[in-house]
Amino acid sequence: MVLVIAEKNIAAKKIAQLLADGAPKTDKVYSTQVYRFSVDGEEWVSMGLAGHILAPDFPEAILFDAERGWYSLTDDGEILPADVPDGLARPPYDSKRRPYLPDGINIKSWKVDSLPYLTWAPVVKHPAEKEIIRVLKNLAKKADSIIIATDFDREGELIGADALSQVREVAPDVPVARARYSALIKGEVCGAFDNLVELDRDLADAGESRQHIDLIWGAVLTRYLTLAKFGGFGNVRSAGRVQTPTLALVVARERERLAFVPEDYWQIRGIGASGDTAFKIAHATARFTDEQKAKTAFAHVQGKTSGTIVKVATRARKQAPPAPFNTTSLQAAAASEGISPARTMRIAESLYMSGLISYPRVDNTVYPPSEDLAAIVSGLAASSPALAPVCKKVLAGPMKPTRGKTETTDHPPIHPTGQGSPESLDGGQRKLYNLIARRFLATLMGPATIENTKLSIDVAGEPLTASGDVLVTAGFREAYPYGLKRDEQLPPLSAGDVIEVRDLALEAKQTEPPARYSQGRLVQEMEKRGLGTKSTRASIIERLYQVRYLKNDPIEPSRLGMAIIDALAAYAPRITTPDMTAELDGDMTKVAEGADTEAHVVDHSRALLAGLIDNLIDHKDDLGEAISDAVTADAKVGVCPTCGRDLVMKASAKTRGNFIGCMGWPECDVTYPVPSGVKLEPIEGDDGVCPECGAPKIKCKPFRSKAYEVCVNPRCPTNYEPDLKVGECAVCAEAGRHGDLIAHKSERSGKRFIRCTNYDECAVSYPLPARGKLQATGETCEHCGSPIVVVETARGPWRICVNMDCPGKEKRPARGRRGTAAASKPAAKKTAAAKKSAAKKSPAKRKPAAKKTAAAKKTAAAKKSASSR
């Protein structure tokens, strides 16, 4: 049997299809997809790895001293020489400066003292994809020969070399060869398998050098930053060859904005009208930089009510259809539609896995000749009725595809497959699929023609203008409306016509600083500067948000992010610029060409880092202070109305919930609750102080709905809500007594809830939505008899039964069973409190407000999963 090892499943599948006599058979080894086929009567099988199957890391519990070098200790205290690669450089040992690694401190422990040793620590590999390795070894044992067919690039060679090392553990003698193809098409793949070569160790070593350098620099600097001011678990301050220069880009842009000195300018603008059509007019001098000149011009036109058309100029311009999508351009286009690059990749992956779009990690922007574009369009027409009319036009047209600047042969640009059923996609998936499908169609269509009309208007001797764009020939815009401005149609006018003029005003304005990066722009900027790859950029940006160096979109650096860049620019400047990546690329090329060795390149890099360590450690406390100040500044939401110190967002150690507390604690015990389940943001400046009570106001952004601002003080008059009777208590009615249900707002927590007036006997207490005006309706719920209230929300009124355990609420048609189960035994469970009071006062009766205890819920869930198995 011949075993073919590809980098990923899609490659394994394609290779099987291209080499097989007849159609390959899909099979599973354990739970991994493999492809069985025959080539000239011989039995072949291909499998896909999942990228790198081994992960580099530092060895467990390695210690160092000058005599023994690297060693490890067994549990019994026995000293063993460490299993490290030959020829590894030793940490330069200076007993005054650098004691032995203290007892019990090893490379795995996060201690500043160990950083100089970590710089020189060996790097080993451990299995990262255990399942894949198991399958690989299983197949390798049965193989008569093996062909490594991973991607034809540096990382592909390394992935192949790692796979080979695993194969050798079970099949030391089986012949192994390498197939190098640059496109998954018949000619390329068959050619590669007819001309097998050897695995290129130098190229794999180049990839491994990259891994080691990234790990060593990343781990040393990340540990250093984290230890400089330990902020508790979950507060890692990371640094790396790609993430740090990326952060530096954002910080540099913010600094430009801070240093920006706005310039004053003036505009004269107003409204022109002819017949029923009104349009914007402005002085021909779009921006006056001289106030006096602006005032003089304005004095001429002020209060004027008519103008004369001097000239009408129309000019048509063509807008070329866009290039096919590669990863970066898809991420940028999706970011404009509000989908972050990271989310774009997650969605694209799912669309790819369900067979709706082609492979999403591509640099290529030119369709290969082998791609049957017409077939895709036909498929699209059949699967997406909404796109069918435009698909028909595309099929009838000349269908000359556009080409982008980057042409590679590994995969086609991102396009819909025209297969599957996109109709059932949910929100984000549907949005992205539509973008991809429409972009694909646009690349096969003609240009759009936009006609611009420019009116020159004389108003009391001053030149004014109006301009309007109209899409006259839709071309590709019929399929691809993204980023298209709305038509601004001017009325038909000609020279000499008189128009109405009104609302002319002189406006004083200021120039704006350079704009912040959007996530889409940042991805493009990273690509331009050689930072990261198509597969990593999105996740690197996401990481910078996760460690709270970045916030908001357009992107702003946090004070912490700025402090990190300042510190690294001072003590480890090499990590803050893209140069390190550029230099690494140069070194990699030398290793790949055999002009240098992995050991030498990595040791050189270690030495550069080692040269920085002493200075870093000397400044540890300065940095700790800077980080701590920055973190406090980021958490600041306002000033304490009692003592004047900063109020900051804090996390409760007990409940892990957030609250606002005074930095003066324990002398000052001012605290405020904050709403949970929403994203919170401080409001800067005077807008962030409540005019009523002086407490801070904060911005709350609930998931998928509109942000609002609120005073954090629950006792503030702006938060006052009178008690409201919403109806009668159905529980009490069942028990033969009377109780009213009253909506209260807690003065302590600011939370709203409903409670029964009969609370000595009745335990009814329901939470209410945090926001929206409440109204009693006088109606009762058909399911449980509890009152119905209306909550005014941003999306309009919302009628709810106040009973949180109402059986009517649990009816979910899609799942069904949960609802019916709950409805059939609504009185089954009670809260402990309800049971207690019921036992004391009155016999337990049917109770619509059945509240399940946590334990009861658990058993119910367990029963459910047991019955479904």
Partner DNA sequence: GCAAGGTC
**Catalytic machinery residues:** 359
Q: Among residues 53 and 674, whose Cβ is nearest to DNA?
A: 53
Q: 221 or 334, CB closer to DNA? A: 221
Residue from 211, 285, 326, 713 that binds DNA (CB under 7 A)? 211
Residue 101 as a binder of DNA (CB under 7 A): the answer is: no
Burial of 861 (0-12, 13-18, 19+ CB in 10 A): exposed
Q: Report the nearest approach of DNA to the CB of residue 223 (Å).
A: 5
**Residue placing its CB nearer to DNA in the complex, 478 or 527:** 527
The answer to whether 65 contacts DNA (rule: CB under 7 A) is no
CB of 649 to DNA, least distance (A): 21
Please name the residues in contact with 566: beta carbons below 8 A apart, sequence gap of 6 or more: 626
H-assigned helices in 60-185: 115-119, 130-142, 154-170
Q: Would you say 238 or 719 has its CB closer to DNA? A: 238
Is residue 58 involved in binding DNA (CB under 7 A)? yes
User: From its phi and psi, is residue 851 left (phi > 0), alpha (psi between -120 and 50) or beta?
Assistant: beta
Contact (Cβ atoms closer than 8 angstroms) between residue 238 and residue 263: no
Report in angstroms how near the CB of residue 134 gets to DNA at its nearest: 13
Span from 478-486, 499-507, 534-542, 842-850 in contact with DNA (CB under 7 A) = 534-542
Q: What share of the chain is helix, strand, coil (3-state, %, to 5)?
A: 35, 25, 40
132 lies in the site for DNA, by CB under 7 A: yes
**Candidate list 84, 236, 310, 395; residue touching DNA; CB under 7 A:** 236
Question: By CB under 7 A, is residue 703 in contact with DNA?
Answer: no
- Residue 416: partners with Cβ closer than 8 Å, 6 or more residues away: 356, 357, 358, 376, 379, 380, 422, 433, 436, 437, 440
Decide: is 343 part of the binding site for DNA (CB under 7 A).
no
Going by their DSSP bridges, the two strands 277-283 and 462-473 should be labelled as: antiparallel
Smaller CB separation from DNA, 211 or 364: 211
Does 112 engage in binding with DNA (CB under 7 A)?
no
Identified binder of DNA from the candidate list 128, 599, 668, 689, rule CB under 7 A: 128
CA distance 125 to 165: 11
Question: How far apart (Å, rounded) are the C-alpha atoms in residues 540 and 550?
Answer: 11
Q: Which residues of 257-286 are buried (b: 16+ CB within 10 A; e: fewer)?
A: eeeeeeeebbbbebebebeeeebebbbebe
Residue 646 pairs with which residues in a beta bridge?
639
User: Does the footprint of DNA cover residue 84 (CB under 7 A)?
Assistant: no
Site for DNA contains 242 (CB under 7 A) = yes
From 175-183, 308-316, 536-544, 776-784, span contacting DNA (CB under 7 A): 536-544
Closest CA to 43 of 99, 2, 90, 81: 2
At position 414, the amino acid (one-letter code) is: I
Rounded Cα gap, residues 99 and 113, in angstroms: 9
Does residue 110 interact with DNA by CB under 7 A? yes
Q: Which stretch binds DNA (CB under 7 A): 127-135, 168-176, 393-401, 566-574?
A: 127-135
* Residue (151 or 805) nearer to DNA, CB: 151
- Asked if 8 is part of the footprint of DNA (rule: CB under 7 A), the reply reads yes
- The widest CA-to-CA distance across the chain, in whole angstroms, is 102
Q: Where are the alpha helices (DSSP H) in 751-802?
A: none
Q: Is 244 in the site for DNA (CB under 7 A)?
A: yes
Q: Would you give the distance in Å from CA 361 to the centre of its chain?
A: 16
Alpha carbon distance 15, 29 (integer Å): 18
| Residue 9 engages DNA in binding (rule: CB under 7 A) | yes
Q: Which of 337, 349, 761, 810 binds DNA (CB under 7 A)?
A: 349
Which of 178, 241, 574, 606 lies at the binding interface for DNA (CB under 7 A)?
241
Find the shortest distance in angstroms from Cβ 659 to DNA: 24
Does 542 help bind DNA (rule: CB under 7 A)?
no
Question: What's the CA gap between 364 and 557, in Å, rounded?
Answer: 32
Question: Does 233 engage in binding with DNA (CB under 7 A)?
Answer: yes
Does 439 interact with DNA (rule: CB under 7 A)?
A: no
SS3 133: helix
Q: Does 527 bind DNA (CB under 7 A)?
A: no
Q: Is 210 in the site for DNA (CB under 7 A)?
A: yes
- Would you call the peptide bond into 666 cis, given omega within 30 degrees of 0 as the criterion? yes
- Using CB under 7 A, which of the segments 187-195, 242-250, 316-324, 627-635 binds DNA? 242-250
Task: Name the residues that contact DNA, by CB under 7 A.
Answer: 7-10, 48, 50-53, 55-58, 108-110, 128-129, 132, 151, 153, 155, 159, 210-211, 214-215, 217-219, 222-223, 226-227, 230, 233, 235-236, 238-244, 349, 353, 361, 532-536, 539-540, 543, 581
